[in-house]
């Protein structure tokens, strides 16, 4: 069984193609399921250049996923998901948004530290002004809070803070462990996300070091390409599958209306 549970659409304004293009690619690859998980709207027009609005969500995203679900019924399972931002201070907004919609699964991702969209290449210069160790501490502390918020099913690109290759010169195992403990305690699934291989860091999310902790803690896994263009659906999944075998006992988690099920790949 193969799935890709992390795909975007042009509604987020920084990806190409519509849901159908991503689904067709997954079908072509012989996948059993594909999850649509475009970026969630954010409160008060926060980062409107990279997000759809609530209106666009209701008017375009929901119906678009609905249509492909119907159109591809019996050919491939299309899951209705979202990649929701964890923004401290906006928990209420996000909680309400997630509760109001009948998602199959919700990916929770940390893309902002304060007002700094740290994984956006336009903002990369800010790393030079900071102590990279402090950035990692803030990132993994925020990720711990995201896991503890209880709002999400899947942890998105767990160690995305490494995206541009900045590495701290001090050991950050303590905060990393705290985050992993929260992920385990709150029963989240971690995605093996192949997008890091296409970024300056050139490494899968999460790193092998973190996958060792995942194995030790028996945290369940799922698979995502984080594709922002249809051609990237399922990209580098040969490696991802190998990692699932090694660190997840060959099992992945799939979702239906936020109910999970473990299956063998
Ligand atoms: Zn994106
Ligand atoms: Fe993301
Ligand atoms: Fe994403």
Ligand 1 mean position, distance from CA 225 (Å): 11
Angle (CA) 95-99-104 rounded to 5° is 115
Ligand 1 mean position, distance from CA 262 (Å): 27
Q: Which two tokens stand for residue 4?
A: 């890709």
| The pLDDT value given to residue 68 | 98
CA distance 26 to 20: 10
Q: Which residues have CB under 8 Å from 17's CB, separation 6+?
A: 9, 10, 229, 230
Q: Which long-range contacts (CB under 8 A, 24 or more apart) does 116-125 make?
A: 117/47, 117/50, 118/161, 119/157, 119/160, 119/161, 119/163, 120/50, 121/164, 124/164
Ligand 1 mean position, distance from CA 40 (Å): 10
Q: What 3-state class would DSSP assign to 182?
A: helix
Q: Give the ligand at the shortest distance from the Cα of 119.
A: 2
| Dihedral class, residue 150 (left if φ above 0, else alpha if ψ from -120 to 50, else beta) | left
Residue 174 CB: number of other CB atoms within 10 A?
A: 10
> pTM, whole model, 2 decimals?
0.97
Q: Give the ligand at the shortest distance from the Cα of 10.
A: 1
Residue-by-residue DSSP string for 10-54: GGGSSS-S-HHHHHHHHHHTT-SEEEE-PBPP-GGGSSGGGS--H
CATH superfamily of 3-264: Metal-dependent hydrolases (3.20.20.140)
Report yes or no: 146 and 108 within 8 Å, Cβ to Cβ.
yes
Tens of pLDDT, residues 72-127: 999 999 999 999 999 999 999 999 999 999 999 999 999 999 999 999 999 999 99
Cα dihedral 160, 163, 165, 166 sign: negative
| φ/ψ of residue 258, rounded to 5 | 70, 15
Tens of pLDDT, residues 123-146: 999 999 999 999 999 999 999 999
| The pLDDT value given to residue 101 | 98
Tens of pLDDT, residues 146-175: 999 999 999 999 999 999 999 999 999 999
| The pLDDT value given to residue 230 | 98
Q: Which two tokens stand for residue 191?
A: 């995605």
Q: Which residues have CB under 8 Å from 29's CB, separation 6+?
A: 2, 233, 234
Q: Where are the beta strands (DSSP E) in 29-138?
A: 33-36, 77-85, 105-109, 112-113, 116-117
Q: Give the ligand at the shortest distance from the Cα of 82.
A: 3
Arithmetic mean of pLDDT over the chain: 97
CA distance 120 to 107: 18
Q: Give the ligand at the shortest distance from the Cα of 14.
A: 1
With 0-12 / 13-18 / 19 or more C-beta atoms within 10 angstroms meaning exposed / middle / buried, residue 106 is buried
């Amino acid at each position: 069984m193969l799935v890709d549970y992390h795909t975007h659409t042009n509604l987020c304004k920084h990806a190409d193609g519509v849901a159908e293009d991503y689904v067709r690619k997954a079908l072509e690859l012989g996948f059993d399921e594909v999850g649509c998980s475009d970026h969630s709207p954010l409160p008060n027009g926060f980062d409107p250049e990279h997000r759809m609005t609530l209106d666009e969500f209701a008017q375009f995203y929901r119906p678009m996923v609905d249509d492909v679900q119907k159109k591809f019924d019996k050919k491939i399972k299309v899951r209705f998901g979202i990649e929701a931002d964890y923004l401290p201070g906006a928990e209420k907004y996000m909680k309400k948004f997630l509760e109001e919609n009948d998602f199959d699964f919700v990916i929770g991702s940390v893309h902002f530290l304060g007002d700094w969209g740290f994984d956006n290449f336009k903002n990369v210069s800010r790393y030079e002004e900071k102590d990279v160790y402090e950035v990692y501490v803030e990132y993994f502390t925020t990720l711990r809070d995201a896991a503890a918020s209880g709002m999400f099913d899947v942890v998105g690109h767990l160690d995305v803070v490494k995206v541009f290759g900045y590495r701290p010169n001090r050991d950050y195992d303590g905060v990393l462990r705290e985050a992993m403990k929260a992920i385990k305690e709150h029963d989240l699934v971690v995605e093996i996300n192949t997008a890091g291989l296409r970024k300056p860091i050139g490494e899968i999310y999460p790193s092998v070091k973190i996958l060792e902790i995942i194995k030790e803690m028996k945290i369940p896994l799922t698979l995502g390409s984080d594709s922002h263009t249809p051609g990237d659906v399922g990209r580098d999944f040969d490696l991802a599958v190998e990692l699932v075998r090694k660190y997840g006992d060959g099992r992945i988690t799939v979702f239906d209306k936020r109910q999970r099920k473990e299956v063998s790949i």
